[in-house]
């Protein structure tokens, strides 16, 4: 199958009940973008309106190769619209509090899948006929960045290897990494200073990316342990293999490893202990005293999730369109991968 062959094949609409007013400290907007990364869109808005990007807030990042609609807030932002070649910003109203990461209800997706093979059609029919079909709530490629190494940067921060992290950051050649490169040229030995030229939200995103990779590894090994060989299918993503159950699996919370993570399931405990030994980390490593702004606590994420309002239709012999809604933090690409696996 082929996903995201062009932006119009992947349409995302953020669901968020904003309860806006006519007055307030923060201006709210609807942002529609095409084939544009979220951070690049925010930087373009900041440049055109001469606003510091730190005053622009969103509820979640959206895919690049897609047509996406989401909301954003700007502290004391202008009450007007903005339109360029690949983004459109519409002023909606005001509130006294800003938008924060995670403050959304979910996302609605319309996805076109092309070049579907005969085997994939058999898998799709089998999965859609299962009354108990739930998808494993893995993080997908988008979480790990275009360079596919955001989790590596996060690991370097967690392990306090700031020099190596700064060197990796400076290999990127677009904004805001160009600012890090300028600092490196002036102060080559100031690794933490180099890193701190980047927005705090971006630095923290690297650590979150590492936590996400650790969660994926924990979840896939849990699937293997609980079901055993032959009872799960294998698919690939940018960072390796993922296991999808072919039989019913009990849902449960899987920890996101951080400095205060809790887990009481013996199988999960053993899996996490083995992963952390392999990674040569401890939970306390996520307390980063040298850069407290990227300290990351633990959390929990449901192993399995479902999608609502699901529908599909044939476009031609090799092409189908799917429409469904997901809760926040779940990946539509992962739903599609599991449907065809």
Structure-token pair, residue 73: 């807030």
Per-residue model confidence (pLDDT) at position 61: 87
Rounded CA-CA distance 120/124 in Å is: 6
The confidence score (pLDDT) of residue 133 equals 76
Tokens 């650590």 label which residue?
A: 207
Contact yes or no for 169/180 (Cβ under 8 A): yes
Instruction: Find where tokens 């275009």 sit.
Output: 146
The encoded tokens of residue 124 equal 């799709």
* pTM summary value: 0.90
Whole-angstrom distance, CA of residue 282 vs CA of residue 122? 44
Q: What is the mean pLDDT of each run of 10 residues along the chain (341 residues)?
A: 94 95 96 93 94 92 93 97 96 95 92 96 90 88 92 98 98 90 97 96 94 98 93 93 92 93 85 96 96 94 93 94 94 94 90
Beta-bridge partner residues of 88: 32, 83
Cβ neighbors of 179 (< 8 A, separation 6 or more) are 197, 198
Q: Strand, coil or helix: what is 192?
A: helix
The terminus-to-terminus CA distance of the chain in angstroms comes to 10
Distance CA 249, CA 246 (A): 9
- Bridge pairing between strands 10-15 and 67-75: parallel
**What is the pLDDT at residue 102?**
84
Query: What's the confidence (pLDDT) of residue 131?
Result: 67
Q: List, in sequence order, every residue forming a beta bridge with 233; answer none if it has no partner.
A: 244
Backbone angles phi and psi of 213, in degrees to 5: -65, -45
Which has the closest alpha carbon to 195: 156, 170, 166, 161? 166
Cα 165 versus chain centre, distance: 21
Phi (first) and psi of residue 178, to 5 degrees: -65, -30
């Amino acid at each position: 199958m082929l996903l995201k062959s062009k932006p119009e094949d992947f349409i995302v609409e953020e669901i968020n009940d904003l309860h806006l007013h006519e007055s307030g400290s923060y201006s709210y907007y609807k942002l529609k973008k095409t084939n544009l990364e979220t951070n690049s869109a925010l930087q373009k808005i900041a440049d055109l309106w001469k606003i510091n990007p730190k005053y622009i807030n969103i509820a979640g990042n959206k895919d690049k190769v897609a047509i996406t609609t989401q909301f954003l807030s700007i502290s004391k932002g202008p009450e007007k619209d903005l339109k360029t070649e690949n983004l459109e910003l519409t002023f909606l109203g005001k509130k006294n509090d800003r938008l924060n990461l995670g403050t959304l209800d979910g996302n609605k997706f319309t996805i076109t899948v092309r070049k579907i093979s005969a085997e994939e059609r058999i898998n799709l029919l089998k999965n859609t006929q299962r009354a108990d079909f739930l998808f494993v709530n893995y993080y997908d490629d988008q979480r790990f960045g275009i360079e596919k190494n955001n989790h590596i940067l996060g690991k370097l921060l967690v392990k306090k290897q700031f020099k190596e992290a700064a060197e990796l950051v400076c290999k990127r050649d677009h904004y805001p990494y160009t600012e890090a490169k300028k600092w490196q040229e002036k102060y080559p030995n100031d690794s933490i200073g180099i890193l701190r030229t980047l927005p705090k939200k971006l630095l923290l995103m690297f650590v979150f990316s590492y936590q996400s990779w650790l969660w994926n590894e924990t979840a896939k090994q849990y699937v293997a342990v609980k079901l055993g060989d032959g009872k799960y299918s294998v698919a690939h993503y940018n960072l390796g293999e993922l296991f999808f159950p072919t039989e019913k699996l009990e849902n449960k919370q899987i920890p996101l490893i951080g400095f205060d993570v809790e887990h009481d399931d013996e199988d999960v405990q053993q899996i996490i202990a083995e992963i952390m030994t392999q990674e040569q980390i401890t939970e306390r490593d996520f307390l980063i005293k040298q850069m407290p702004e990227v300290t990351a606590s633990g959390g929990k994420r449901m192993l399995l999730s479902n999608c609502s309002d699901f529908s599909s239709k044939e476009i031609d012999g090799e092409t189908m369109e799917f429409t469904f809604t997901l809760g926040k933090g779940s990946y539509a690409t992962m739903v599609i991968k599991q449907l065809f696996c």
